Amino acid sequence: MAIYHPNEQPAPAYDSHTHLNDDQLYFDVPAYLGRAHEFQVLEMNVVGYDEVGNERALAIAHEYEGVHAILGFQPEDTPSMTAAAFDQLQEQVKDPVVVAVGETGLDYHWDTDRTIQEKAFRAQLRLAKDRDLPVVIHNREAFDDVYRILKEEQIEKAVIHSFSGTPAQAKAFADLGYYLSFSGVVTFKKAEEVRAAAKVLPLDRILVETDAPYLAPKPNRGKTNEPGWTKFVLDDLAQTLGMSRDELAAQTVQNAHRIFLNHDQN
């Protein structure tokens, strides 16, 4: 369905973090991509989290234009990152459709063994460094340890996915040169602090994402999220930052190209 008059087409957008590889979306990828295109979300990163998720991310990125892959083991799935699985990951990230390693990090909300999480986190950070790829960081209730480990491993290229922390934490990450990606969380009524955090950041460090099928933004909160709904994240965040949605869309596309695709534009 054509929603926009051609002259009123919004600026193209880039969903920096989505899971078309998740069971909830994977069996309908063409439909979700079609809807994303209606909303002018023309580029996206499909992010892996375990072996099956990584294989699917690769397959989707190979099949569709504008779709890139990010491969890794999320904290919850690190017990499945055996030596053989890590060997395979090391091979898979050599594929040119892969633009980052992740999502990887620490999650203290669930009770996955923290020693296993940290070992897998450090291994993936070293892999990213070896390949000169950025890392996409999953941090839940673990800021101090995530921040310390990123510094210890001397990571220079990182994206903090679905940033949900304080302005001070945002500033600390930005001071290391990292990018912060904002999800539907920024549209939630109680997320005052997250909106305040967005305001302390340099504009050239901000990305937007859906984390679909999770974290659906207002006005669709609680529904199955999809990449096209990057539109709603942009609407809200643009308002917070006092700029137009198209300006923010263009800025975040440029930022995504710089960090993920090595486009040397400022």
**In the structure encoding, which two tokens stand for residue 27, read together?**
């069996």
Residue in the block written with tokens 């945002």: 170
Residues 68 and 101 sit within 8 Å (Cβ to Cβ): no
CB 218, min distance to Zn ion, A = 19
Radius of gyration of the CA atoms of the chain, in A: 17
Q: Helices 167-175 and 192-199, interaxial angle, to 10°? A: 30
180 versus 245: smaller Cβ distance to Zn ion: 180
In the complex, residue closest to Zn ion by CB: 211
CB 28, min distance to Zn ion, A = 18
56 versus 245: smaller Cβ distance to Zn ion: 56
Residues 33 and 227 sit within 8 Å (Cβ to Cβ): yes
Q: Coil, strand or helix: which one is 47?
A: strand
Facing residues of 46 across strands?
Answer: 18, 69
- Contact segment (CB under 5 A) with Zn ion among 7-15, 112-120, 125-133, 204-212 equals 204-212
209 versus 245: smaller Cβ distance to Zn ion: 209
CB 8, min distance to Zn ion, A = 32
User: How big is the site for Zn ion, counted in residues (CB under 5 A)?
Assistant: 1
Stretch 34-53: interaction string toward Zn ion, x if CB under 5 A: --------------------
Burial of 242 (0-12, 13-18, 19+ CB in 10 A): exposed
Residues 106 and 139 sit within 8 Å (Cβ to Cβ): yes
174 versus 215: smaller Cβ distance to Zn ion: 215
46 versus 201: smaller Cβ distance to Zn ion: 46
- Contact segment (CB under 5 A) with Zn ion among 168-176, 187-195, 210-218, 247-255 equals 210-218
For binding to Zn ion (CB under 5 A), which residues are involved? 211
